[in-house]
Amino acid sequence: MSGNSISPKKFAAITAVLGVLTIFPPLATDMYLAAIGHLADSMQASHAAAELSLSLFFLGLCIGQLILGPVIDIFGRKKPLMIGIVLFVVTSIALVLVDNIAIFNTLRFFQAIGACAGMVVGRAIVSDLYHGREAAKVMNILVMMLTIGPIISPTLGSVLLEALGWHSIFIVMALVGVIASFLTLFIIPETLPLVDRKAVSFHSVRTSFVKILIKRRFMLTAIIAGLVQGGMFAFITGSSGVFQGVFGLSALQYGLMFAGIALALMFFSQINKGLLNHYEPGIILKNGLRLHLMITVILVIISSTKSMWLFVAPLWLAIGMVGLLSANAMSLAMAASRKESGVASALLGAIQFAIAFLVSSCVAMAGTSTTLPMALGLFLPCMLAILLSEAFLKEPVRNRTAAV
């Protein structure tokens, strides 16, 4: 199936459903953060044991993507996606019913495998249906959903916790999954024809991974996408300590500040949409990285300021650039691996979460008594990304559908 054969209404519907599927991981990761203490108390467990559910969820996301990548190249897109959604719904319901922290944490691992199906399959479907600028435009929307998710989820979770208790958070997750399953069933088409599917064998899976790993253009753009996205996780990790600890905002003021900064993602998403009408994703990526580097340098230079608004101004621009750059880097990575798009999508996701985990951990360990760790968490990955781009990412004018 080609994107050219899809009507504008169908195009909009598919994109909307893929956007809903993309928010599963941030929804399941961040919506219950405020409830971890309550959860631990209700299960008579330590806070550390409850926090382990987060680590296991991230592990499930990484492993799940690596499993699902070859699976969707062998069995098609829609059936594995539906199975993943069902697994997410079933585990979300089961999490409400258990009263043992070990069982809870185990279920969280499997919930993550179900949650990542939307991300992996979504990127593969975009690669199947769209090319060049159109692919970048759709990826732009998915990145915006993925980055907005961690921002709105904690607030939603806090409201549910106060009103209905921690169990309600997982009930809402299950309801979102049920809605997504019906939307997927009736709107998302099967985009991988039988003739293009891989053989069911360990050798074919290994061959697919090797083909992707040796594609320089894919690996470069995937790592660049991960480095840029790592800046977003630096912000998420350090923002509470910076705005509540350093600048003294209340919880409500912090939430409003977070939401205001989140608007940058939507604003820059619209800018990217306009740019893609005139420029190829590679051009936008290379020039955008240069601008992003200048912004993050300013952020580091003024990190000792006592003026919150002086710090917020370049931070707002930097977070907006994260969304713009991620969308273009991801579309270039997927375009460089169209014949193995399932495995490519899995590796792209695994690379992003691995870098995000590393950046987030460094910011957390550095502490948030000053704004510098968060500023460096945006600057250093950007610097590495631009070094890779300038040194190795050639021919940015064309968004090639194949790479050597």
Amino acid identity for residue 41 in this structure = D
Q: Which two tokens stand for residue 242?
A: 């910076």
* pLDDT number for residue 404: 37
Q: Which residues contact 234 (CB under 8 A, 6 or more apart)?
A: 359, 360, 363, 373, 374, 376, 377, 378, 381
Place of tokens 């258990």: 98
CATH code that applies to domain 208-393: 1.20.1250.20
Q: Which two tokens stand for residue 352?
A: 């992003």
Report yes or no on whether pTM surpasses 0.85. no
Distance, CA of 360 to CA of 354 (rounded, Å): 10
Distance, CA of 188 to CA of 46 (rounded, Å): 42
Look at residues 87, 339, 328, 294 and name the one whose alpha carbon lies nearest to residue 204.
Answer: 339
* pLDDT number for residue 321: 93
Q: Which residues partner with 402 through β-bridges? A: 337
Question: Would you write out the chain's pLDDT as a tens digit for each of its 404 residues?
Answer: 555 566 778 878 888 888 888 888 888 877 876 677 788 888 888 766 776 787 788 788 888 888 888 888 888 888 999 999 999 999 999 999 998 999 999 999 999 999 988 888 887 888 777 776 777 777 777 777 766 676 677 778 888 888 888 899 999 999 999 999 999 999 888 887 777 767 666 666 777 778 888 888 889 999 999 999 888 878 877 887 788 788 988 766 776 787 788 788 888 888 888 888 888 888 999 999 999 999 999 999 998 888 999 999 999 999 999 988 988 888 888 877 766 667 787 788 888 878 887 887 788 778 767 899 999 999 999 999 999 988 877 654 444 444 43
Distance, CA of 30 to CA of 385 (rounded, Å): 27
Helix axes of 47-75 and 101-129: crossing angle, nearest 10 degrees: 30
Look up residue 196 and give its DSSP letter: G
Query: Measured in Å, how far apart are the chain's first and last C-alpha atoms?
Result: 25
Domain ranges within the chain, ordered by starting residue = 1-197, 208-393
Amino acid identity for residue 64 in this structure = G
Q: Quick one: fold of 1-197? A: Growth Hormone; Chain: A; (1.20.1250)
1-197 matches 208-393 in fold = yes
